[in-house]
Amino acid sequence: MIISFEGIDGCGKSTQEKLLAEYLTKAGYVIRRVREPGGTSLSEQIRDMLLDRESDIDPFTEMLLFSAARAQLCRTVLSKWNSMGDIILCDRFFDSTVAYQGGGRALADPEWLDRFQRKVTGGLVPDRTYYFRIDIKTAEVRKGGRSDSETDRMESEGEIFFRKVIDAYESLARREPERILVVDATRNVESIFTVIRKDTDRLLSQIGPVNTNGSAL
């Protein structure tokens, strides 16, 4: 089972991913946590390049680098965990590339980019994606007013860029309502987690066997 967490920086997705990991671990499930880009040695090296504020990266190259990190993660790690029945929690997955590079960069038609990303992952698609809907100003407040030196290359983009990213996420949510659950990220942490916990419990009651002891099912 793959669960991904999506939204612009400051939406609170990482906090909710951590809370869900703790909840499911206490319930006895085998939990695997990854962040994107990252999760393997090569993917982490690519992450460093992508987020370095000093890096001058062409938009198409940027998309390919994100995709390369994702392909390495999916084909060497996630596919194995998924076949074992582990629950995989992803702090970002391919929807981020569709939203940031397809929407924010206007690099390619989002639907084409979505199809391409499914090839990148070798067919791995989240069973559930939580999209944390939030406005730009609230997200900025949540980030705590960090200085320019504390933000990475993607976070330092301007308001117009992030408006396009949000529009792309909204389009994705409309196109795939069965997979993507829109969460009101302006609510408090406890209220948001209640929504996610209840939805995850429901999914676990419907989906096939998942790993609870570290052995393949």
User: 12 with 132: CB under 8 angstroms?
Assistant: yes
- Mean pLDDT across 79-102: 96
Q: How high is the pLDDT of residue 216?
A: 36
C-alpha pair distances (Å), 34 with each of 1, 100, 109, 162, 196: 13, 19, 27, 24, 18
Q: What is the pLDDT of residue 213?
A: 60
Q: Which residues contact 178 (CB under 8 A, 6 or more apart)?
A: none
Question: 214 lies in a domain?
Answer: no
Decide if 210 is inside a domain: no
| CA 161 to chain CA mean position, Å | 18
**What percent of the chain stands above pLDDT 90?**
82
Q: What is the mean pLDDT of residues 191-217?
A: 81
Asked whether residue 215 is assigned to any structural domain, the reply reads no
> Considering the chain, what percentage of its residues have pLDDT values greater than 70?
94
User: 117-129: per-residue pLDDT in tens?
Assistant: 999 999 999 999 9
Of 25-34, 67-76, 146-155, where does mean pLDDT reach its minimum? 146-155
Assess whether pLDDT exceeds 60 at residue 214.
Answer: no
**Poorest-pLDDT segment among 68-72, 75-79, 109-113:** 109-113
Q: What is the pLDDT of residues 134-143, one digit of tens each?
A: 999 999 998 8
In a domain, 119, yes or no: yes
Mean pLDDT, residues 182-188? 97
- Retrieve residue 94's tokens: 């391919």
d(CA 92, CA 71): 14
CATH number for 159: 3.40.50.300
- The whole-number pLDDT of residue 201 equals 96
Q: Which residue segment(s) compose the domain that 95 sits in?
A: 2-204
Let me know if residue 111 belongs to a domain. yes
pLDDT at 149 over 80: no
Look at residue 215 and tell me whether its pLDDT is greater than 50: no
Number of structural domains, the chain? 1
